[in-house]
Amino acid sequence: MGIASMRPHLSQDDIERLMKGETSEERANIAHRLCRRIATDALTDKERQHAEDIIRILAEDTADLVRRTLAVALRNSPRLPREVALKLAQDIESVALPVLEFSPSFTDEDLIELVLAVTASKQAAIAARSGVNSELCEIISEFAASEAVVTLARNKGASWTEKAFENSIGRFSDNDEVKAAIVNREFIPVHIAEKLVSLVSGQVFDVLVNRHELPAQVAIDLASGARERATIDLVEQADRSQDMQRFVHQLDLNGRLTQSLIMRALCVGHMSFVEHALAELSGVPHSRVWLMIHDAGPRGLAAIFDRSGLPRKLLPAFKAAVSVYHETELDGGTDDKARFRSRMIERVLTQFQAIPKDDLDYLLEKLDAYSGQAQASADDETSGKVVRTG
């Protein structure tokens, strides 16, 4: 049913009352009837122009009720002209919020400009849209009020980026609601989880540990200040999430990419971390660092070691650990990584005696842990064989 065929239902008197109705309720009722048809009927080009003219008149009505009727009735419709959507976005909140949250009439640039210019509640409406692209997400995280950032964190349709996480935590590190909303997202990067450990507590802390596969002891160590001991246990998670380069870069930015951390990682076989760490410190691409460590002989290893700024006194231990890594293989069985790391640590301890006490204590503790894990798996496998043959 087109605009022209509405005449039996919308008389000339109705149109006059729409323009000059004595009460806002009268005009709102007529506006509702008309807007519903504009949103759903098939329109010719002429009818569309007529409809847009009426929409512009409604947007100028002095009564809030009429303008809100227009905003609600056409909030999902692409037939709401862009300039009218922008006008309504600047209106009072009861008029603006439905359009800001739902209208498809805005461009991406419109939404960015609006975030920078509107109130917190309006920012939150934009953050609640069914799709928030990465650029808009970053703008909200960097400039919007906490109310909007919380809404954004709860929005499954928001495309969060590394920068958005960094912005939000940096700006709202003391805001429990923002932190809880971020922790409750389906996924957060490893280095963001690491940052959050020391910023949250109670139930939010438990969610962080359980939802994001952060081992409880790692979280406790981080929260209590034993950051380096715990960071090494996050390396494997960064490797699994293919986030190693970003993880290493974050450690370096925060002054935690230490020689001790790199050496400990090497001694337990976290070679990917070591490669990316030396690439980060030296400014050499990872592919070239890999060749210098694994395929360029002792001189290549020494060269990248020196370029990374690591102390020469650690080079013998570093060479020994790399040699052990090349000579030690995964056996393909259950918990073969635990056995591999046990053998790595045992051989490093045997070949290099001058290990600093803190690192020695750490490696001995890890040796116990990996050995225990490997033994438990062996016991389980033996038990399983007994059951199958019984």
Cα(192)–Cα(92) distance, rounded to whole angstroms? Answer: 37
Q: pLDDT tens for residues 298-325? A: 788 899 989 999 888 778 778 878 887 8
Q: Are 4 and 47 contacting, i.e. CB atoms less than 8 angstroms apart?
A: yes
Cα-based angle 375, 381, 386 (whole degrees, multiple of 5):
125
The DSSP secondary-structure symbol of 186 reads S
Average pLDDT of the residues in 360-372: 60
Measured between alpha carbons, how far is residue 343 from residues 326, 361, 374 in Å?
12, 17, 11
The average confidence (pLDDT) of the chain is 80
- Of 384, 367, 369, nearest in space to 333 by CA: 384
pLDDT recorded at residue 145: 97
pLDDT recorded at residue 209: 74
The confidence band for 42, taking pLDDT boundaries of 50, 70 and 90, is confident
354 vs 385, residue with greater confidence: 354
Counting Cα atoms < 13 Å in the Cβ hemisphere of 379 gives 6
pLDDT recorded at residue 242: 66
Cα(317)–Cα(72) distance, rounded to whole angstroms? Answer: 70
pLDDT recorded at residue 39: 79
Average pLDDT of the residues in 207-230: 66
Q: Which range, 34-38, 273-277, 380-384, has the best average confidence (pLDDT)? A: 273-277
pLDDT recorded at residue 324: 78
Cα(230)–Cα(220) distance, rounded to whole angstroms? Answer: 9
Q: pLDDT tens for residues 113-129? A: 999 999 999 999 999 99
pLDDT recorded at residue 276: 93
Q: Which range, 7-11, 163-167, 344-348, has the best average confidence (pLDDT)? A: 163-167
117 vs 245, residue with greater confidence: 117
Q: Are 381 and 350 contacting, i.e. CB atoms less than 8 angstroms apart?
A: no
Q: Is the pTM of this model over 0.85?
A: no
Average pLDDT of the residues in 35-51: 80
Check whether 346 has a pLDDT greater than 70: yes
The confidence band for 266, taking pLDDT boundaries of 50, 70 and 90, is confident
